Amino acid sequence: MAKRHNEPYRLYKRGQVYHAYISFVSSGGERVNFRGSTREILSEKASQFCLNFIAEQEKKSKLRIGKGVEISTDQAFTLFFENVGQYHNNSKDTYNKLKILLSYFNKNISDICDDDLMRFINDYRDHKRTNGTINRYLALLSAVINFCDDRGFIIPRLKISKYKLKEPAENIKYLKDWEEAQQIIDLAAPHLKPIIYTALYTGMRLGNILNLKWDNIDFINKTINITVKDRTKQGGKNHSIPLIPQLVQILHKLPQISEYVFTYKGKPIKSIKTAWENIFYKRGDKDTNWGLTKELRNPNLPYKNFHTLRHTAGTWILKKTNNLKITKEILGHADIKTTLKYAHVLDDEKRRALDSVFK
């Protein structure tokens, strides 16, 4: 056996081939062990195999912990998605945004400069993207840079927040009453109806609803227990929503043929895009164009996006309770500032209060 007392590996022969036992502590404090064939018959080449293996493990260790090393945007985006992005409610959207950002910032993270940011912003403006859309990309890039900073990688000396564009005040769209909601439900396909009821009765986002599993539902304590995004907690935070009797009845009627609650023809529902648009738009003639037209099925029911149901739940809850904190807890907002966008519904209550005081 060829011993290497001053090196973190030992070589030994099995037949004509050298095998190696490698054991060392990486710069990240991790113990790395390897025992196997080098596939080499010359000791010099077998030693080089060991040194290459150690160097590769050190490189991986430095990427995990940073320690003042450079990191490319490609590597940074990959690490960010693996550790944070994949746990976002809409992880596919996060992934796609990172791919687009990579096409603009394909360099070392530390080399990103003001000119790069302005080029990205101006290009997206030329493509008629809204300020809100551009800000979401900038926020994601900022999150990646902060992620790298926390791990000791070299980051650029710039403040992305100063490039944030002004956005118009958000106009919260919601259904005015239950009669309007019932119109939507009546026109929905059978497999879509329970999904709509769940959105209205809980205020859950579509992604959380479609990913809902039977294990998330506690029928004994009448709660739905899920994980929602939270910038302060890796992987999100636990969120509990009370189950009202109406929703319990609806869920009990669903067949439990999958671990997922909402299914169609025995398979989990991945998308409701077509079924949702069918509520509002007519289909073309079978012999010519069987696709959806832009002609409304009901002229008195203009198109609403599915997220309107979450806004509806938040608006109705706040209107009924006058309690921002309760509304925040039910919707799972991480910050009360997010819930404040629903505060416009209290205008009538404030007006009545003033009228009663100064009547």
Number of Cβ within 10 Å of residue 122's Cβ equals 11
Cβ partners under 8 Å of residue 85, min gap 6:
91, 94, 95, 98
Using alpha carbons, select from 345, 32, 21 the residue that is nearest to residue 175: 345
Tokens 């037209």 sit at which residue? 293
Q: Would you kindly state where each structural domain of the chain is located, as residue ranges?
A: 9-65, 73-163, 178-351
Cα 309 to Cα 217: distance, rounded to the nearest angstrom: 21
Cα–Cα distance for residue pair 185/297, rounded to 1 Å: 14
Match domain 178-351 to its CATH number in 1.10.443.10, 3.40.50.720, 1.10.10.10, 2.60.34.10. Answer: 1.10.443.10
Stated pTM of the model: 0.61
Measured in whole angstroms, the distance separating CA 230 from the mean position of its chain's CA atoms is: 10
What was the pLDDT predicted at 77? 94
pLDDT at 168: 73
Residue 152 CA to residue 64 CA, distance in Å, equals 9
From first to last of the 359 residues of the chain, give the pLDDT tens digit.
444 456 789 999 999 999 999 998 877 677 889 999 999 999 999 999 999 998 888 777 766 654 568 889 999 999 999 888 887 767 888 999 999 999 999 999 999 999 999 999 999 888 888 888 999 999 999 999 999 888 888 889 888 988 988 877 667 888 989 999 999 999 999 999 999 999 999 999 999 999 999 999 999 999 999 987 665 566 667 889 999 999 999 999 999 999 999 999 999 999 999 999 999 998 766 555 556 667 888 888 999 999 999 999 999 998 888 888 999 999 888 788 888 888 777 776 677 777 777 76
**What pLDDT is recorded for position 2?**
47
Q: What is the pLDDT of residue 291?
A: 60
- Look-up of token digits 């609803």: 209
DSSP assignment of 291-334 equals SEEEEESSTTS----THHHHHHHHHHHHHHH--HHHHHHHHT-S
Q: If you write DSSP's letter for every residue of 333-350 in order, what string do you get?
A: -SSHHHHGGGGGGGHHHH
pLDDT value at residue 288:
52
